[in-house]
Amino acid sequence: MGHMSKPEELLRQAACYLKPDDVSQLESAFHFSAEAHHGQFRKSGEPYVSHPLAVAEILTEWHLDAQALTAALLHDVMEDTEVTKAQIADKFGRMVADLVDGVSKLDRIEFESQEHAQAENFRKMVLAMTRDVRVILIKLADRLHNMRTLDAMHPAKRARIARETIDIYAPIANRLGLNSLFQELQELSFRHLFPVRFRVLSKALAAARGNRREVVQRMLEAIRVRLAEAGIEATVSGREKNIYSIYKKMQEKHLTFARVHDIYGFRVVVQDVPSCYVAMGALHGLYKPIPGKFKDYIAIPKTNGYQSLHTTLFGPFGMPLEVQIRTVEMHKLAEAGVASHWLYKANDAELNALQQKTHQWLQSLLEMQTQSGSSIEFLEHLKVDLFPDEVYVFTPKGRIMSLPHGATCVDFAYAVHTDIGNRCISAKVNDELVPLRTVLRNGDRVEIITAAHAKPNPAWLNYVVTGKARSHIRHFLKTMQYEESAHLGERLLNQALAALQTRHDEIPESRWTKLLKDRNAHTRQEVLADIGLGKLLAFVVARRLLQLGDHGEGESTRLPGSVVIRGSEGMALQLAKCCHPIPGDPIIGFIKKGQGLVVHTHDCPVARKTRGDPDKWLDVEWSPDINRLFAVNIRLVVSNQRGVLAKLAVEIAEGGANIDNVSLEPGDSSEYANVHFTIQVKSRPHLAVIMRGLRSIQEVIRITRLKG
């Protein structure tokens, strides 16, 4: 074995905090791993076992327990060698085997696409993570070592791994409060994704730091003296800003490097919380604070448990300097986050609170996971959930909720409780009624008003930002569409059976059972929903149930009797956008796969194109007693005079219709204008009344209903 792959260093580090028995278990795990990977090499030419060894060494920095270190040494054996989970459990215990299993890369499934494989991978990782947070810590250490040794990889693969790291792994490290790991992962990803930018910035940064070295020394000295005068025990250090955060600032604020100021950071670590505030007061006396740049994360910690005071000051020569003030405890927590639980066997309330928060977050991921249909959808929720810019708002009872940047009242409602989200109808922010799409700001007091029969609105998906809200809304809509499609499917099937002179209650149970078995469906409702969604044709199902052969070529399958449209079908029925049919229009129905029944007007040109397949066409008619409103587009050519729009609006309102939308465009000459209205009417006769009313206005030259 190469000099790189000797376990001495690992064992020495582990011996600092583990029992001798544990250390010898590690040694045997190392030999087991070395043997299993014998003959395998990394891209860099080193024996493969050097990788698991390095991962275990990273974990000793967090003082992880023997099980986790053992699992780290074995984390690739199930994947890359003949060793099975049972063998690991046998030799190192069930727990280690579970951890290895959790960390093991994907089962060898062939995925449709790279994206799909990745998404599925995260889904598994989250599942493993929720059972045991050590899985993700091993996974992060594994990723860190891979990133440190990325140079050996093919450039395309390098970019892919770096992109995935910056999108997912770095934010997870941040979410778990592992600050130094988070920064190193970001920095390494940036270096591999944009090598040229990285080089240019590093050079510029080194030069800037060099030029201002003595200024920084002077500021450090001034801060130390000032704190000592105020009688505060503190260690003060200069803090390197990482290159990636400077790059991001340049991008977001469109700054040139010369204008990015906060290259200087100072960290002040004091003994206790009151000293944090005293120290801040002392520094505000030394250099003037920049207004609005002060953040108190001690009173309101970030979701990942991070606590500090942040303030930005005007330094000498107008150089802004950023100062973080925190206690020793907070500092430990800020650097190691969740891992500090192993690092300092502290029983502090802070750590417990952090672990609970982490646990809640993992649980909420688990919930989303069970609701998102596809892994790609889940990955989308996960990404949303990882970006930690937070807004803090208050419930009416004064509880603080933290939500991601850009969160709306709907996100807040779902954060309080799923049912509140599903039933919310309006919101009050700081005691004023606001639209549900209102974006919340720091310190808002938010109250949600609910109604028992309210349900989620598909339009919410356009503006919610939290994964929880998005996945619950989607879940609800899918269920609702499924139920409504099943009702429609039942009506279509009954109609098809009637055409074959049978009633649905005359079909023996055994036929249904056979049909379900043939279709691999679990319930009747599934088959009915498929009919309603157009994935199955009603007459085909009807013939199957009656055990007639599939119909011969010449036979027509037009069904007698037509489906009555009641207007209350909800999501199972769609009125075509191309022709906007309304009650009173002659209509025709088309079964569209995955969307269910789409209704067009008889003379719709779009419908005419698809007339080719008679099986999918249905006769449909309006029910005589519909009471809901339907959208219609009308276009008017009017003479361009003052007040004409108001006249039109009054006429429409008096005719008992709502105006949904209005737009104006200049006509062929400046004397005329084209006005488009989308109005809501009950039926065709209702529309006729309104159009008659509009024609009677003298400024109206021409009026037409738009179809298409």
What is the rounded radius of gyration, in angstroms, for the C-alpha atoms of the chain? 33
Q: Averaged over 381-407, what is the pLDDT? A: 79
pLDDT single digits (tens) 428-438: 999 999 999 99
Q: What pLDDT, on the 0 to 100 scale, is given for residue 384?
A: 65
Q: Could you identify the residue written with the tokens 């449209």? A: 565
Residue 556 pLDDT class (50, 70, 90 cuts):
very low
Q: Could you identify the residue written with the tokens 């010898």? A: 24
Among residues 459, 458, 464, the alpha carbon closest in space to that of 479 is found at 458
* 107 given a catalytic annotation: no
Among residues 301, 298, 304, 471, the alpha carbon closest in space to that of 386 is found at 304
Q: What pLDDT, on the 0 to 100 scale, is given for residue 207?
A: 83
Give the residue with greater pLDDT, 289 vs 387: 289
Among residues 456, 494, 489, the alpha carbon closest in space to that of 596 is found at 489
582 near 687, Cβ under 8 Å?
yes
Taking the C-alpha atoms of 521, 525, 527 and 529 in order, what is their torsion angle to the nearest 10 degrees? -130
**Looking at 35, 80, 603, 660, which residue is catalytic?**
80
* 262 given a catalytic annotation: no
Q: Which run of H or of E encompasses 448?
A: strand 446-450
Cα–chain-centroid distance for residue 418? Answer: 16
Beta bridge partners of 323: 266, 311
pLDDT single digits (tens) 644-687: 888 898 999 888 888 888 888 877 777 888 899 999 898 899 99
Cα–Cα distance for residue pair 610/616, rounded to 1 Å: 10
**List of residues 6+ apart from 188 with CB closer than 8 A:** 144, 147, 148, 150, 162, 165
The number of CA neighbours under 13 Å toward the Cβ of 423 is 10
Q: Which domains does the chain have, with CATH numbers?
A: 3-198 (1.10.3210.10), 207-346 (3.30.460.10), 474-622 (no CATH), 630-706 (3.30.70.260)
Helices 155-164 & 133-148, crossing angle to 10 degrees? 150
Q: Averaged over 156-163, what is the pLDDT? A: 88
Q: What pLDDT, on the 0 to 100 scale, is given for residue 3?
A: 44
Q: What percent of the chain has pLDDT over 70?
A: 88
CA angle (537 as vertex; 531, 539 as ends), nearest 5: 115
The pTM (predicted TM-score) of the whole model is 0.65
Q: What pLDDT, on the 0 to 100 scale, is given for residue 555?
A: 42
Residue 447 pLDDT class (50, 70, 90 cuts):
very high
Q: Averaged over 611-636, what is the pLDDT? A: 78
**Mean pLDDT taken over the chain:** 82
131 near 94, Cβ under 8 Å?
no
Q: Which of 10-19, 56-65, 568-577 shows the lowest mean pLDDT across its residues?
A: 568-577
Residue 516 pLDDT class (50, 70, 90 cuts):
confident
Q: What pLDDT, on the 0 to 100 scale, is given for residue 525?
A: 83
Judged against a pLDDT cut of 50, whether residue 456 lies above it is answered with yes
Q: What pLDDT, on the 0 to 100 scale, is given for residue 325?
A: 95
**What share of residues in the chain are helix, strand, coil (percent, to 5)?**
55, 15, 30
**Looking at 79, 483, 619, 621, which residue is catalytic?**
79
